[in-house]
Amino acid sequence: MTYPLRLQGGTVTLRDFDRQDVDAVLAIVGDDRVTRWLSFDSRDRDGAERMLTAAINAAQAAPRTEFYLAVTVAEGLVGFVRLALGGVKAAKLGYAVHADRQGHGYATDAARTLIRYGFDHLGLHRITAAVGPDNEASVAVLKRLGFAPEGRLRDHVFTNGVWRDSLLFSLLGDELAG
């Protein structure tokens, strides 16, 4: 597979992270307004640097089993999107957008672009996503992309000192909307 990877969406460009992204990554993963919806607590600079290093190392692994990509627009990095391969022709999807840049369709475009790559180039059959029940914006993104609800995962993640359920959604290769 090509490294570094670069994928063009409708309004966003996805690319592998580089070390210069640390401040932009920290602005996302260090912000409680964003991480309250994620599967981990807010991170400090060291945590953001470790996350970035892990993403860069995973991008260079052979075979590559994780596609953790920066979501960029003309003004710079605004988020990230991730496909983690696992199982037979399956992957898990995740994404986040800087709190001040939400509501512009970046998550939908980034997820759609990476999902298409997963189905068309990685030969995936199924992609799942787990979101917090109160994360209405993320549920709307998944529904817009054609994901079907599968159920509730009780006490699925432990963040911010409490257990949280997740709603599980899935998409099969022939179901991608838009």
42-59 per-position pLDDT tens digit: 999 999 999 999 999 999
**Mean pLDDT, residues 69-87:** 97
CB 60 within 8 A of CB 95: no
- Does 22 have pLDDT greater than 60? yes
**Distances in Å between the alpha carbon of 55 and those of 17, 44, 79, 172?**
7, 17, 14, 26
CATH architecture of 6-172: 3-Layer(aba) Sandwich (3.40)
Q: What confidence tier does 1 reach under pLDDT thresholds 50, 70, 90?
A: low
- Give the ranges where 30-105 is alpha helix by DSSP (H): 32-35, 45-59
Average pLDDT, the chain: 96
pLDDT per residue as tens digits for the range 100-155? 999 999 999 999 999 999 999 999 999 999 999 999 999 999 999 999 999 999 99
Its sign, for the CA torsion 137, 141, 146, 148, is: negative
Where do the structural domains in the chain lie, given as residue ranges?
Answer: 6-172
Task: Spell 70-97 as b/e; 16+ CB within 10 A means b.
Answer: bbbbeeebbbbbbbebeeeeebbbbbbb
Higher-confidence residue of 159 and 1: namely 159
- Residue matched to tokens 């460009």: 13
Measured at the alpha carbon of residue 79, what is the angle toward residues 73 and 83, in degrees to the nearest 5?
A: 115
Which pLDDT score, from 0 to 100, does residue 177 have?
73
* pTM passes above 0.85: yes
Task: Please give the average per-residue pLDDT across 28-49, as a whole number.
Answer: 95
